[in-house]
Amino acid sequence: MQKLLIVSDKNTAAIAELLRPFYERCVSAHSASSARRKAGEGDFDLAVINAPVAGASEAELALDFLEQGIANVILLLKPQGKELIERKLIDAPVFILDKPLSKELLVRTVRYMQNRDRREERIVRQNKKLRGKLDASRDIFRAKLLLMQNLSMSEDEAHKYLMRTAMDQQKTPEMAAKAIIGLYGS
């Protein structure tokens, strides 16, 4: 479920209405302390900070959100004083947008963030799948090595033995390899 946290001293309804098509749930906070509390209670995908916010510097609030696990933060700032805040956030993954806010730019930024998150999730899944294949290959290689050492088999014989054992026991080669490692491994 996509959740949005909007932090603003002013009315949050306009931002919430603009981003409602992208988020199933919108939560508003009108101060930094309230925003920090709500961020700690919920699992938010995006925080939009409409500066100025009572009770904290916007840069500190953005960094707090990142530390609490909010993956995406958008900071809406007036051009005056923006350079100082940008310097504080130079290494942080925070999007800083100028006020007055272009609705189109905000929507494009949110779409970009969501697409980036989907790509990242896909890469993480692919990485996990490849890591599993690599682990399986290691187990198979180790099992063949143990067969070669303990039963004086050639690599080809060890491979055939491993595959035949897997087929006979109706197991995957990885499962058969783990059983061999358990039997002969130290």
Task: Look at residue 163 and give its three-state secondary structure.
Answer: helix
Q: pLDDT tens, 113-152?
A: 999 999 999 999 999 999 999 999 999 999 999 999 999 9
Task: Look at residue 28 and give its three-state secondary structure.
Answer: strand
Q: pLDDT tens, 40-99?
A: 888 899 999 998 888 888 899 999 999 999 989 999 998 887 888 888 899 999 999 998
In sequence order, which residues have a C-beta less than 8 Å from that of residue 55 and are 6 or more positions away?
A: 31, 32, 33
DSSP 8-state symbol, 169? T
Identify the CA nearest to 155 among candidates 136, 140, 174, 176. 140
Reported pTM = 0.75
Q: pLDDT tens, 148-177?
A: 999 999 999 999 999 999 999 999 999 999
For the chain, list the domains and their CATH numbers. 3-101 (3.40.50.2300), 125-184 (1.10.10.10)
